[in-house]
Amino acid sequence: MSQAESSIAQAPQHRGVINRYRGWLPGIPDHAVATLGEGGTPLIEAPCVSEKVGASVHLKFEGLNPTASFKDRGMTVALSRAAARGERLSICASTGNTAASAAAYSARAGMTCFVVVPVGKIAMGKAVQILAHGARVVQIEGNFDDALRISQRAAAEMDDVALVNSVNPDRIEGQKTSAFEISESLGAPPEALALPVGNAGNITAYWRGFSEWRDAGYSEHAPRMLGFQAAGSAPLVEGHDVQNPETVASAIRIGAPASKEGALAAMRESGGLIESVTDEEILDAQLLLAREEGVFCEPASAAGVAGLLKLAGEGRAPTGTVVSVLTGHGLKDPDVILARNRLPDPLPADFDTVADYMRREGG
């Protein structure tokens, strides 16, 4: 066997977060596990962002989960637990990523999925996923908060229906596993963790994961939690619900976060913060990540990096090792990029013309 073949043979196979972290999760019988091999996402060094922030910044790229967002971690646990209970239907309110993940994992679990979405408020990349997996789409003339209220009532009043939004505690349990992976990859938790905040389940989950890791004796500290909302959709920053949230970052366009209390507790207990960044700052951070670090994330995912850059500009940046969570892949929301860029006009199929163009544009 060659050295390359030996290396491949010895490489560990990622079997999903339930199999990897079963001892940290609620009980799930083997026959009910619905997994697509989620988790095991890369932690990428970000030298350009590090220089600008003045810290050693790493990117936890959750866009490389099976449905291209962090939602898969929680969905495998929520749908597996629902399948174990014998439930036949799942339902969720969503601005896109939750619905895409619920549709995929419901299909894997053999359940019928209903997704309630605000009309005209879902990115095309996510809508395509939902339809591909065969979920039943319910478009409503309202916002995410209206969709969540309807979904919660359906789960409460109808038989055999599992609600798989982040108000479901099984979702939080699955999502906390990313904190374990970060701690394992770095050898210890970072000094700070930056991430976008929409419905606030993810910041709640990360804090739970880091706290459990510390309390189990695997580390002496847990990171400061730095959460960032979009300025047009920042109820936790403003101190009240936002009736008509608006932001280019569709994944965090939520005016009444369901996990509000968990997010505020994470901020207080970690000595962290929850602040806002503008759409311009978010889009600039998305462009910086794509063009300087080679990592393409959806706009909402760039809110954490936008926040770090904002703090650095104000002399408040964290120091030491910092992780910014990129929650979804850029292909989830291609319209944002297409609105800011266009393909150039065609050139003649002639080498000299192409070479001249390369010399002009090559810098």
CB atoms within 10 A of CB 46: 25
CB atoms within 10 A of CB 359: 9
Share of the chain residues as helix, strand and coil, in percent rounded to the nearest 5 = 50, 15, 35
What pLDDT, on the 0 to 100 scale, is given for residue 4? 36
The token pair that represents 289 in the structure block: 């990540």
What pLDDT, on the 0 to 100 scale, is given for residue 13? 55
- Distance, CA of 225 to CA of 242 (rounded, Å): 23
Q: Which of 88, 91, 96, 98 is nearest to 114 (CA)?
A: 91
Q: Which of 10, 11, 28 is nearest to 19 (CA)?
A: 28
The token pair that represents 138 in the structure block: 């319910």
Helix ranges (H only) for 42-168 are 47-53, 71-85, 97-109, 124-132, 144-157
CB atoms within 10 A of CB 204: 28
Q: What are the pLDDT tens digits along the chain (363 aa)?
A: 444 343 333 444 568 999 999 999 999 999 999 999 999 999 999 999 999 999 999 999 999 999 999 999 999 999 999 999 999 999 999 878 999 999 999 999 999 999 999 888 777 788 899 999 999 999 999 988 899 999 999 999 999 999 999 899 999 999 999 999 999 999 999 999 999 999 899 999 999 999 999 999 999 999 999 999 999 999 999 999 999 899 999 889 999 998 999 999 999 999 999 999 999 999 999 999 999 999 999 999 999 999 999 999 999 999 999 999 999 999 998 888 888 888 889 999 999 999 999 999 986
Q: Identify the residue whose tokens are 């490489």.
A: 11
Query: Are residues 301 and 192 in contact, defined by beta-carbon separation less than 8 angstroms?
Result: no
pTM of the prediction?
0.92
What pLDDT, on the 0 to 100 scale, is given for residue 127? 87
β partners of residue 329: 297
